[in-house]
Chains A and B, each alone.
Chain A
């Protein structure tokens, strides 16, 4: 069937005039250059590739813990925006070895934006590598490089319920020092119970902040420190964060969202405890603190052949089945990209050319097609044999 839109001749002529229309439009257009896109600018305020800070104060929270306040080095620089509960990855060059570790931002977003700072709280005993170095070396005036804010451990109003049960262990309380005041100020329907497990009372962090929040929001916030090795004068809760303990403060756990942050031993304990409550997965958010430790079940002394993208050289480095592949790469001074160190962000994604690794199920963030085509996340993989791998370059110049 012959189709006519206007009439046959006009239709055909119009087609032939196509290019003339195009040429005319091009001729008449402005030859001005474009500015950087406003959305690209917004993006660089939310996810700058790197942030440089100067430490402006250091507060000792306990003999092993300090809170560092940091502000952008650039005179007009602003801290990247974040969701309360997120972390930044801190970089350090320790004796020629570049490493990075995630630290939760311990200040609420509103305060951070208003006065242009982040608080980071560091405790020596959580991390054998970076934290002691930070405690020794960071002082007022020190310059610190970090990533943009990262991570999925944050309240989400479209998902989470109005009762929040926050379960913290040790320095795992740091994200709650950002999240809880943020929610109390900005989410009027939310009420919160913080159950905070510590070994001894003098390990309670931000000990002056919690009572202040309670007195400001007495109907909506309860603060319950739980001491596992209390002194005689301790009158509060004792033991671990068990279901019995939770039940004393949360009348209907089925109507609550649980946020859990602490060492892996606490997560393991809570996994079995919370199983008794039959919670739905949507009610439970977890953040792991610190590199996981594993028993040495395979040979201690292994070799990894490493090729870095953009180079033909293959390096042979030592590895240990009790440490992740990422740690082996860092020990060898290779400066691989890494952010979350728990398998989820994929920033360290690398090619596994040959060999076997163990990946714990709860930190296996690999994509299905990456499994098919032989990629893995070194930060959550423990070598079980000698390996051959190819790693991406670190995008940041130091």
Chain B
């Protein structure tokens, strides 16, 4: 059976959903193929007993950006017109560092943050304010640059966004040093590093600054019905615009001939042709396993994949607790808990299953979304980054024991840091590991984050070389491994961009 579409999208993660939505909205014949029986990838939910858990989303930052051009929320609600209800996150986060006794709740708002840090670290206001202002400036530039359609106008950037350029090639640590940010202030600001997954001495300052500012300055929201609500709303939107979705359908081969996309072959034996193909599957999967024949994979594409460092995966312990969160003493939404905030040491720690150098980013869902579980119950999810390498040598036969032990460590760390009793209230527990993420999303080695955004491979160089990195005519990438880097907002907008670009190229005949 051969069928034909203008655009095939591989993978219904957030990027693929955004891409299929944009392409079908533009009137193209679109087919979205997903190997799992649910859309969403990481943006999904699961039910155990009387609890429905959020698998991955902690917050969608940037809520005040509704008036601005590039904000994710504004895109979802106003532009795409998706039917999603959001609830707000009450405070930024609590930081607990067990070695030096730090235990501080960070508020939203840059001046509120500066006030709080001044209280904790007297005399820090000047450098902290300069630092936070710089972060805001970088995000504004970043947004202004990523909104446009043509190549960037360097003269304009130079004039209006000088600081963006001057800091753009440095790591977050180098910029903090230049501004003499006190160590104690870093303790309070750096916990958010775990959402980039690259230590501060390696992460691109541009990406870091944009993320930190998006969260601290403007607050954040989550969908009321877990992130599955985003995915289900996208599916509704795609179908309303005439796009087609097939679940349970794995793409086995991406057919390439003469350097040009031809179509796909699926696990159900279909051969489907297309003009353009948007891949939510990573370049790692595309250039090692998907393109067929393998002789059509350019060596340069493999080099590109091998030059990048793959990001980390996660262990998440999902807990349905049989008591009210106030009775449990869970007064915060977001808890960052670590022995210290030496991010390089914390990063090294996640290569091992036995390390105590573990940072967890844990969320009590009810603190933002009181009706997410029945009265008198609480949903708590403990999340820690792990390099997939830490799990590589686990024998299948030992897997359940190993993951239970990993969960036990996180629960103990949480209880000790917060002085709460979680264990005797566990009604439902589920433990996700890199294996779990590999199983449900097909991600290479269960990686949750995309390629690590170091300065040389941050969003700016990625954007500037995007065209060069697809290697095959008619092929586009979206999702956490694409040019905007990982995260909910980045993935959604990368899908939107890829959908729009593919449609534009089809109209101008570039792909043929």
Contact = CB atoms under 8 A, between A and B. Distances in A.
Contacts of B404: 156-158
A268 interface: no
B400 A83 contact: yes
A28 B284 CA distance: 17
A98 to B, nearest CB: 15
Question: Which of A40, A46, A375 has the most chain B CB atoms closer than 10 A to its own CB?
Answer: A40
B429 to A, nearest CB: 5
Interface string B387-414: 0100110101101100010011001000
Contact of A39 (B52, B228, B446): B446
Given A37-B438, A365-B47, A368-B225, A26 B307 contact: yes
Nearest to B321: A282
A138 interface: no
A392 B288 CA distance: 29
Contacts of B245: 309
Interface stretch (B113-121, B253-261, B348-356, B456-464): B456-464
Given A39-B392, A367-B52, A369-B226, A18 B247 contact: no
Given A34-B305, A39-B434, A395-B267, A373 B37 contact: no
Chief secondary structure at chain A's binding surface: loop
B174 interface: yes
A347 interface: yes
B181 interface: no
Interface of B is mostly: helix
B155 interface: no
Nearest to B455: A18
A281 B399 contact: no
Interface in A359-392: 365-370, 372-373, 375, 392
Contacts of B184: none
Nearest to B377: A281
Contact of A25 (B47, B231, B232, B456): B456
Interface string B225-239: 110110111011000
Contact of A337 (B168, B225, B248, B304): B248
B232 A370 contact: yes
A2 B465 CA distance: 28
A369 B392 contact: no
B45 interface: yes
Contacts of B304: 26, 29
B52 A47 contact: no
Contacts of A42: 391-392, 394, 396, 399, 435, 438
B166 A46 contact: no
Closest 5 CB pairs of A and B: A29-B307, A14-B169, A37-B445, A45-B396, A395-B248
Interface of A: 1-6, 8, 11-12, 14-15, 17-19, 21-22, 25-34, 36-40, 42-43, 45-47, 78, 80-81, 83, 109, 113, 152, 156-159, 280-282, 309-310, 337, 344, 346-347, 349, 365-370, 372-373, 375, 392-395, 397
16 contacts: A3-B175, A5-B167, A11-B165, A38-B392, A39-B438, A40-B445, A42-B392, A81-B399, A282-B425, A309-B247, A367-B45, A367-B46, A370-B228, A392-B246, A392-B248, A393-B246
Given A32-B302, A43-B438, A393-B246, 15 more contacts: A11-B170, A12-B166, A27-B303, A43-B439, A46-B439, A152-B48, A159-B427, A310-B270, A349-B37, A367-B46, A367-B226, A369-B228, A370-B228, A370-B232, A392-B248
Interface of B: 35, 37-38, 45-50, 52, 83, 130, 133-134, 162-163, 165-170, 174-175, 178-179, 223, 225-226, 228-229, 231-233, 235-236, 244-250, 267-270, 284, 288-289, 294, 297, 299-300, 302-307, 313, 322, 388, 391-392, 394, 396-397, 399-400, 404, 407-408, 411, 423, 425-429, 434-435, 438-439, 444-446, 455-457, 460-461, 464-465
